[in-house]
Each structure stands twice: as structure tokens, then as C-alpha cells.
């Protein structure tokens, strides 16, 4: 058993632009980190923070160099000497969604085309609506369109509370989302509805059914931390399975368990916020076993700031995260590998409210200094496997 440990940490949606196929997705020019940096430098993101983007710990790992590697003329945060290894990764799966990005980082590109619901009203076919009604025990659904979560709850809250009908909506991702009041509709009822509906939609290659519970009154509601994603199973064993099958421990922090349908997950560590999740991550530095993999997702960059197009909020989240990174790096042990990366972009300066097709930074601590160059998402899994001394069962090539 090796004493080496690996920590794969996904900063959800923290892209760095430059995807060669971005135009195919309508995202040519999108650059989450570059545009946030530019807005901060111009003094236009001074809500709850001030001035240029300040992420010194990520910069020391090579964030600025990864950004410049992806888009040579990009705006860079302030930074100095680099003590990590850096690169930028390109995705091949034909999606800019959470499962595609995470699965590919774990060594498994998506081999099929996802099913997307059309941007029509209604968006869902009659048989899907009928199945939701049958499972929910209602005579109809609300929404039935492309929408963002807060606006559609605002639009249908009163009718939802009056009729008991679930609020159903989708997005540019391959998802079916159901919002319902935790008390009036019932949290357990909502979760069961989503769990029972998921196999029906997975058979159509819809990637996720997502429960979106909320509480409060229609004029003052709040979405809760009891969101649950019911994702389709990965098509083949992932990095989590490779490590677990080798007899090693695996730890999933945040929504990793949901994204991988609990496959390959030994211990699940959940929380109500990214702050809670980072406490788990820091605790695992002290308790994670030799030879283990810790796979973490920090979702609030995406969910709280990317989709609502909140540049200042996104910048605050990056600066908060950077402070936590400093504490994490200080506690690393000899033989530890930490990789900070992302699963897609979500440029808060971009049009619309959806993810953006981008390359992502790859920042490595514990393995020296230098450029990794342009790599593939699957190379991340190959590199973790190599570090831990387990078989790389995917198409990637180790960059370490």
C-alpha cells in the first residue's frame, strides 16, 4: 500500500476560456476567469469586496499561467512566483454540463449524445408530463419550459401552493428539474418523485433529474440545501471505481456521490454550503487513509453566482476559496497530490444563464513546479491513478 494520497478538487464552473469548439455551443469568447478578472480590475465588482481579483494562493499554484496558456491575451489576476504545476484541460464530450465534465475528469468521456428538451412551451412531451403526474398524484404540472430556478418559482409559487402541482423546468443542460415547497408539497415526497422519475428519463439519455426544494412564503422564499441530483450511471468504471477496486479508500465531498450515482464512493461527506464542505476537506487531510482518493466538488461558484450572472458574488467566492486553499496547502503531507480544476465554465458576464464551453485550469500541488501544457480532461484521471499506483483504465495519459 502506497503512502501517497490524492485530492481531486473541482471548482464547479471555474473555466478559463479558449475551448477550441466553443463556437459550436454559441460560446466563442466566453472566459469565466478572464472576464471576472477584467471586471474586478475595472472597479465594477465592488459589492462586498473591492478592486482587482485577489487570489494569491491559486496564483502561486499557477492559475495566471494556466489562464494565459488557454487564452494568451486574457486578463490575469495579480500574482508572483509559482510553486505548483499548471496546465489547461480540454473536454471532448459533447456537453458542457456537470456529469460530462466530472465523468471525463474521472477518465470516462460520454459516449452518447444527451437528450435535450426543446426551447418551446411546452418543453416536455405528453408522455413525460403524464408520468410526472402519475408519480406525483397530481392532475398537472406547472412551468413546462426552459427557465432559471428563482424566476420560475416566483412565477408559479402561488399556484403551486394552491394546487399542489410540481413546478417542472429544464435548461440548456440535459436535465429535468422539479421545484416544490418542502412543507406544503413535502420534501420526502419531492425526493421520491425525482428518484422514481429518474429511470424513465435516464432511458432517454436525460442526464439528471434534480429536486429543487424551497421554503418560505411566495414573497419571501428560499431554495434550501436539500437539493438532490439523480444522475444517470456512468457508462463504464471511473477513477473512483479504479481506486476502490484496488482496495483503496475513496471519499466523496459534496455532490460527487450524486454525480456518479454513488458508484465507487466509499464515504460520502455532505454539507449545506461550500464552507461546510471545505471543513470536511480539511478534516480529511488529517484522516484520509494512505493510498486514498478524495474527490470534492464546490458548487456555489456555479449555482449561486454563475447562473445568476453575479460577477461580484463570483469574485467574492473565488477570494474566499483562495483563503481556504492556503490553509489546505499548509496542511498537505509528503506524498500528497492535490489537483484543483473545473468541470466547465459559467461566465457571469455572458449572455443567458447557462454554462459556457471553456477549457479549465489544472493546478497541481505536491509534485514540483512547471508547465503541464494543454492537456485533456481524461489526463487528470490518468495522472491521479499513476500517483496512487493503480491501473489507469481510461484513454488518458498521465502528465505527472
Burial of 361 (0-12, 13-18, 19+ CB in 10 A): buried
CA distance linking residue 356 with residue 353, whole number of Å: 9
CA distance linking residue 324 with residue 345, whole number of Å: 21
CA distance linking residue 131 with residue 137, whole number of Å: 10
Task: Find cell 474566499 and name the residue.
Answer: 320
Degrees to nearest 5, angle at CA 70 with 389 and 87: 20
Measured in whole angstroms, the distance separating CA 233 from the mean position of its chain's CA atoms is 17
The binding site consists of: 12, 302, 307, 343-344, 355
Contacts (Cβ under 8 Å, ≥6 apart) of 252: 240, 260, 265, 266, 267, 268, 269, 295, 296
Beta-bridge partner residues of 359: none
Cell of 195: 428518484
- From the list 395, 371, 304, 288, the residue with the least C-alpha distance to 9 is 288
Q: Which helix (H) or strand (E) is 240 found in, with range?
A: helix 239-245
Q: Which helix (H) or strand (E) is 373 found in, with range?
A: strand 370-376
Is the Cα dihedral 297, 299, 300, 305 positive or negative? positive
Rg of the chain taking only CA atoms, in angstroms? 21
Number of residues that make up the chain: 400
CA distance linking residue 390 with residue 55, whole number of Å: 33
Helix (H, G, I), strand (E, B) or coil at 220: strand
The binding site for Mn(2+) consists of: 12, 302, 307, 343-344, 355
- From the list 17, 119, 21, the residue with the least C-alpha distance to 73 is 17
Amino acid at each position: 500500500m502506497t503512502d501517497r494520497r490524492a485530492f481531486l478538487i473541482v471548482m464547479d464552473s471555474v473555466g478559463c476560456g479558449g475551448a477550441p469548439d466553443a463556437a459550436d455551443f454559441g460560446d466563442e469568447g466566453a472566459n469565466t476567469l478572464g472576464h471576472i478578472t477584467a471586471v474586478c480590475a475595472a472597479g465594477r465588482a465592488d459589492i462586498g469586496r473591492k478592486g482587482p481579483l485577489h487570489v494569491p494562493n491559486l496564483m502561486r499554484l499557477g492559475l495566471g499561467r494556466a489562464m494565459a496558456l488557454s487564452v494568451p491575451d486574457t486578463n490575469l489576476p495579480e500574482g508572483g512566483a509559482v510553486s505548483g504545476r499548471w496546465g489547461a484541460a480540454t473536454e471532448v464530450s459533447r456537453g458542457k454540463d456537470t456529469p460530462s465534465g466530472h465523468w471525463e475528469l474521472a477518465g470516462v468521456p460520454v459516449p452518447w449524445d444527451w437528450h435535450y428538451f426543446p426551447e418551446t412551451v411546452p418543453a416536455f412531451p405528453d408522455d413525460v408530463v403524464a408520468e410526472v403526474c402519475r408519480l406525483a398524484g397530481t392532475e398537472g404540472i406547472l412551468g413546462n419550459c426552459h427557465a432559471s430556478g428563482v424566476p420560475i418559482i416566483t412565477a408559479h409559487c402561488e399556484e403551486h401552493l394552491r394546487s399542489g402541482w410540481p413546478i417542472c423546468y429544464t435548461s440548456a443542460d440535459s436535465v429535468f428539474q422539479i421545484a416544490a415547497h418542502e412543507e406544503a408539497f413535502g420534501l420526502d415526497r419531492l425526493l421520491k418523485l425525482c428518484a422514481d422519475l429518474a429511470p424513465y428519463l435516464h432511458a432517454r439519455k436525460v442526464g439528471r433529474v434534480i429536486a429543487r426544494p424551497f421554503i418560505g412564503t411566495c414573497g419571501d422564499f428560499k431554495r434550501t440545501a436539500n437539493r438532490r441530483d439523480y444522475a444517470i450511471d456512468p457508462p463504464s468504471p471511473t477513477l473512483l471505481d479504479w481506486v476502490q477496486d484496488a482496495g483503496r479508500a475513496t471519499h466523496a465531498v459534496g455532490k460527487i456521490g450524486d454525480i456518479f450515482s454513488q458508484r465507487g464512493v466509499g464515504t460520502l461527506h455532505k454539507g449545506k454550503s461550500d464552507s461546510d464542505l471545505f471543513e470536511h476537506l480539511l478534516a480529511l487531510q488529517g484522516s484520509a487513509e494512505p493510498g486514498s482518493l478524495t474527490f470534492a466538488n464546490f458548487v456555489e461558484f456555479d449555482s449561486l453566482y454563475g447562473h445568476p450572472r453575479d460577477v461580484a458574488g463570483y469574485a467574492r467566492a473565488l477570494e474566499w476559496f483562495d483563503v481556504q486553499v492556503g490553509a489546505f496547502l499548509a496542511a498537505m503531507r509528503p506524498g500528497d497530490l492535490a489537483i484543483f480544476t473545473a468541470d466547465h465554465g459559467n461566465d457571469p458576464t455572458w449572455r443567458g444563464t447557462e454554462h459556457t464551453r471553456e477549457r479549465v485550469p489544472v493546478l497541481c500541488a505536491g509534485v514540483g513546479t512547471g508547465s503541464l501544457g494543454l492537456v485533456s480532461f481524461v489526463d487528470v484521471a490518468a495522472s491521479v491513478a499513476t500517483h496512487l499506483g493503480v491501473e489507469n483504465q481510461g484513454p488518458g495519459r498521465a502528465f505527472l
